[in-house]
Amino acid sequence: MASSKTMFEKIWDQHVITQEEDETLLYVDRCLIHEGSRHTFDRLEREGRTIAEPDKVFSFSDHYVPTDPKIRDAGVDAIPDEKIRGMVKLLAKNSTDSNIHFYGIDDPKQGILHVAGPELGVSIPGILLVGADSHTSTHGALGNISFGAGASEIFHIMVTQTIWQRKPKTMRITVDGELGFGVHAKDVILAIIAKIGHGGGAGHALEYAGSAFRNMTMEQRMTVSNMSIEAGGRAGLIAPDETTFEYVEGREFAPKGKQWDAAVANWKTLPSDDDAVFDTEVSLDAADIAPTVTWGTNPETAVPITAHVPSPNDAPSADKKAEIEDMLEYMELKPGMAVADIPIDKVFIGSCTNSRIEDLRAAAEVAKHGKAKIPAWIVPGSVSIKNQAEAEGLDKIFEQSGFEWRAPGCSLCTALNGDKLQPGERSASTSNRNFKGRQGRGGRTHLVSPAMAAAAAIKGTLTDVRTILRGDA
Amino acid sequence: MEAFTTLTGIAAPIDIPNVDTNQICPTEFNKVPVGDPFYPKILFHYLRFNADGTEIPEFILNKEPFRNAKIIVADRNWGGGSSRESAVYAIMSFGARAVIASSFGDIHYNNCLQNGVLPVKLKQEEVVKLRQQLHENPGAELTIDLEYQTVRGPDNHVYKFDVNPVSKRCLLNGLDAVARTQEFQSDIDSFKKKHHESAAFLDQPGAE
């Protein structure tokens, strides 16, 4: 028994430098940052510290960059808001001065850190990767340990290339079977969060196992791992396999030649041993998962599109009852109404969860079935995805259907760059958080897959994408 | 980091479960530099202030005596969501040094420890009881003793809490994390050598 290990334990053990009581000092192979890392750079300067291994730090301008194509084409000085412009310029200065890898607003490799990182081969199997962003869990889809950290821990990594951690427990989430018609990776992860709860993965590293994930492409797997943090998970790993190796091979920072062969040989030893024991086991049947949407103000409120808004009276406890009442009030929803009748003001297709090429293809497939009745934005996750989508003619499909084709960045997911909902506005969004005010003060967010978001744009309400695809709508 | 030994002060009950870091520090304030005079207004900004900047008098932190709270007593799943450390700076700038809840978001929990803000995990029924007592006796003080890992309630009932030993030592002594790590520099150096030799593809981005 002692020799069987989970994938998480294998990778963890390969990064242990030393142990002090209940804390382990781990070596960090890659560190990812963005404009929000200003507090880290401020402290480096204040304390006169230098970066230990600049070659392992990758900096992306994504959270604050404009996605309006006109402003984007005009360059950084065209950003109208002085403070936002200052954040973009500050990262460029800090990154250039400290000699780390930098992908700025004008760079052809620019993109959201969790989209461009894997594209560049920065995230590969077997590594320990820490990012200055909670959705760093995304990279675990490639079979590594990746997690987000705050400014102080990123500071510590920059100065020492290490991080102290208490070892989390492990949770295996198994989904077997085939996904139904119109059901995507986003629906799977929303269904998982609904089952285990918003904090259900707290203190655990999650591993996604089962045929549903093995059959997914890398892009789909990244959508799943991305939202591990929405269940409170410390990380979200998926075992590396041929799909992973094919995705990684040939990318800029991927191993090459002899190192590639050595890497693949090592990566094949990483999957959890057959008799490895997880602290917690959860399983779902893929066939039970429908196109899914959240009705409330945390991702746990995910329900099938065919469901109705819950009533506080159905709550299992007084505590939950108060929570449902509060969410209904904020979301301005009535108990018992059909989720598919909820009117939508704006559609956002983008974010580190759902802005990859397959997401855009899925949305375009639906967009072909009609015209957008409401403002609907498509924000690709990186310049390279934007270029690829344009080469495939997806931008033309979107434009013909009345969708707006924009420049890459985090945009309306995090509402930092000026893209935001107005108070009371309601979005169908492919992003990862529906917290109060997340997309702008007073904004209301319903989380959905790209296909469901495109369907909402055509219908003007949340709607079952399957009826549109079948031509019933 | 400022040391944390004991803390006695007014405690404010926040009756909201799942307070994510976006509520503690709305995203638009992530770009505000630490030390900016606006910082004390960031904590719970959307609940404390109207869009025009005027106070929302009903919100508990805008009421006396809670404006001077040094301790927040919350519910379950405090600090989930974004990794923004600005959420911790917001708590500190308001004047609080400890948050008591029945569970915490992992990243925020660590961010608190890194800045000398003590996250205290008590049982759900204990945080509910404490909040009820604080509502009944506005301005009641709690005492947190990190050395003995105790919280003394308004009724003098003493609650025990767990904290991992290393974090406890760092907080009690106000220990700098980098200085602590640098004591292990020779271990780090020998690990790097071994790591590079066993897996250059891990150690060196784009290795050939």
Report the pLDDT value the prediction gives residue A418, as an integer from 0 to 100: 87
Residues of B in contact with A138 (CB under 8 A): none
Share of residues in chain B with pLDDT > 70 (%): 100
Pairwise CB contact (< 8 Å): B107 & A162 = no
Q: Flag whether pLDDT at A386 surpasses 90.
A: yes
Pairwise CB contact (< 8 Å): A150 & B192 = no
pLDDT tens digits, B75-126: 999 999 999 999 999 999 999 999 999 999 999 999 999 999 999 999 999 9
Pairwise CB contact (< 8 Å): B85 & A435 = no
Mean pLDDT, rounded, for A182-202: 96
Pairwise CB contact (< 8 Å): B199 & A84 = no
Pairwise CB contact (< 8 Å): A256 & B182 = no
Using CB atoms, pick whichever of B30, B85, B206 lies closest to residue A253: B206
Pairwise CB contact (< 8 Å): A17 & B191 = yes
Residues of B in contact with A132 (CB under 8 A): 83
Report the pLDDT value the prediction gives residue A1, as an integer from 0 to 100: 46
Nearest CA in chain B to A298: B18
Report the pLDDT value the prediction gives residue A384, as an integer from 0 to 100: 98
Mean pLDDT, rounded, for A405-430: 95
Pairwise CB contact (< 8 Å): A133 & B76 = no
Mean pLDDT, rounded, for A308-316: 95
CA distances from residue A148 to A31, A89, A91, A157 in whole angstroms, order as listed:
10, 23, 19, 12
Report the pLDDT value the prediction gives residue B108, as an integer from 0 to 100: 96
Interface of A with B in 386-415 (CB under 8 A): 414-415
Report the pLDDT value the prediction gives residue A319, as an integer from 0 to 100: 84
pLDDT tens digits, B52-67: 999 999 999 999 999 9
Q: Which domains does chain A have, with CATH numbers?
A: 7-165 (3.30.499.10), 169-236+257-288 (3.40.1060.10), 292-469 (3.30.499.10)
pLDDT tens digits, A430-454: 999 999 999 999 999 999 999 999 9
The verdict on residue B206 lying in a domain is no
Q: Which of A65, A260, A417, A435 best probes binding to B when mutated, by most B CB atoms within 10 angstroms?
A: A435
Interface of A with B in 412-431 (CB under 8 A): 414-416, 423
The verdict on residue B35 lying in a domain is yes
Pairwise CB contact (< 8 Å): B181 & A160 = yes
pTM of the model: 0.96
Touching check for A17 and chain B: CB below 8 Å? yes
Domain containing B75 — which CATH number?
A: 3.20.19.10
Asked casually if ipTM beats, i.e. exceeds, 0.90, the reply is yes
Report the pLDDT value the prediction gives residue A120, as an integer from 0 to 100: 98
Pairwise CB contact (< 8 Å): A435 & B81 = yes
The verdict on residue B132 lying in a domain is yes
Report the pLDDT value the prediction gives residue A282, as an integer from 0 to 100: 98
Interface of A with B in 361-380 (CB under 8 A): none
Q: Which domain holds residue B141?
A: 6-175
Q: Of A32, A98, A40, A97, nearest to A61 (Cα)?
A: A32
pLDDT-based confidence at A194, cuts 50/70/90?
very high
Nearest CA in chain A to B46: A441
The verdict on residue B38 lying in a domain is yes
Mean pLDDT, rounded, for A142-170: 97
Per the structure, how many domains does chain B have? 1
Are A309 and A328 in contact by the 8 Å Cβ rule? The answer is: yes
Pairwise CB contact (< 8 Å): B107 & A134 = yes
Using CB atoms, pick whichever of B31, B80, B177 lies closest to residue A156: B177
The verdict on residue B188 lying in a domain is no
Report the pLDDT value the prediction gives residue B136, as an integer from 0 to 100: 97
Q: Flag whether pLDDT at A460 surpasses 50.
A: yes
What CA–CA distance (Å, rounded) separates A147 from A152? Answer: 14
Residues of A in contact with B104 (CB under 8 A): 202
Q: Calculate the CA dihedral of residues A325, A329, A334, A339 and round it to 10 degrees.
A: -100
Q: Flag whether pLDDT at A472 surpasses 80.
A: no
The verdict on residue B190 lying in a domain is no
CA distances from residue B83 to A132, A229, A267, A419, B171 in whole angstroms, order as listed:
7, 10, 29, 21, 21
